[in-house]
Amino acid sequence: MFPPVALLGLGLGLPPHVLSQEEAALLTTRIFGDRLAGFPQFERVFANTGIARRHCARPADWYTTSHGWSDRMAAYRQAAEALFVQAATAALADAGIAPAEVDCVVVSSSSGFAVPSLEAQLAEAMGFRPDIERLPLFGLGCAGGVAGLATAARLAAPPGRIVLFVTMELCSLAFRQDDGSRANLVASALFGDGAAACVLRGGAEERAFAVIEGAGQHLFPRSQDIMGWRIDDGGFGIVLSAALPQFLQAHLRPALARLLAQCGAEEERIGRFVCHPGGTRVLSALEDVLRLETGSLDHERAVLADHGNMSAPTVLFVLDRARRAGLPGRAALLALGPGFAANLITLRRGMR
């Protein structure tokens, strides 16, 4: 637990190219052709994702040709910079905060990298002060929206300190034409691109739409092979276990109890769990673990349908829908990611 931290603003960002699920399936068929004979569930996987469309950093034809590290990271930097500006500008406007008022910026992204880091390259264009503190985070994957926000909240704990948190993922740029594995084909059916940003200030205040009260993380032992990247000469390769839903049903419940204890929260007082929608099977497993009726995670399914799994930013897209619909008195953000780890943040509804 730490002192209350106000969430003043939330902004979202999306790249310009939109791919329907039908177009994505046709594109994947075009790329892999006869290799799909070894994956007879291919069409069913695309049809059962609950995804209608997703945004991508590049036009569809870009994904039909081979790309090495240089091409991928050039595309990442260009798209990530645009998404950073889009989401951060929207969050600052939502909060009524000028860029020069920001004391610290935290950036979480695991689908690409740049040195100098993105916030350094964009500092002058954004209007940040020269003395701004910077913390880029890598490797949190799908958990980055919650784990990164928790880190930002800890840095914002001193009263009056303003922190900007930005997370962007360009999952589509990791798509591999040379990888006919089941995990890569499933990933092609699930993942999209997007960004989200939050503005935080130490101390509860009237301008907050929510107040962060606690955060916790649970690292599951001997679980590194569940989710992550395999890195080789061609780029990132997806590591994604088909047993993830079963793992959650077997192990998440006791971990959730520990996370709530870390946050000083009681489950019965949580009016809404805001979850990262990794996929329809994961959402069903979460509803089972959280003892919710089937379909209760409705905002999660709506975000998944409209945008696919964007990795880290996705849970903040869900939070945006939840706040517009009206947050309950107490809520909790939950995301799972490489490690394998579960991350939780507890919220109290703000006065805004």
Active site positions, annotated: 142
Locate the DSSP E strands across 241-351.
272-275, 330-337, 341-349
Tokens of 34: 């006869």
Question: Of 341, 308, 307, which is closest to residue 139 (Cα–Cα)?
Answer: 341
Sequence-separated (6 or more) residues with CB below 8 Å from residue 322? 272, 274, 299, 331
Tokens of 193: 């691109």
Positive or negative, the Cα torsion across 224, 168, 28, 306?
positive
Q: Angle 298-307/314-325 helices, nearest 10 degrees?
A: 130
Q: Give the dihedral of Cα atoms 112, 236, 54, 189; nearest 10 deg.
A: -170
Q: Name 11's bridge partners.
A: 197
Which three-class secondary structure state does DSSP give residue 20?
strand
Strands 330-337 and 272-275: parallel
Query: CB–CB of 273/222 below 8 Å?
Result: no
Sequence-separated (6 or more) residues with CB below 8 Å from residue 113? 73, 76, 138
Query: CB–CB of 200/95 below 8 Å?
Result: no
The span from the CA of 224 to the CA of 242, in Å, is 14
Question: Of 157, 111, 165, which is closest to residue 136 (Cα–Cα)?
Answer: 165
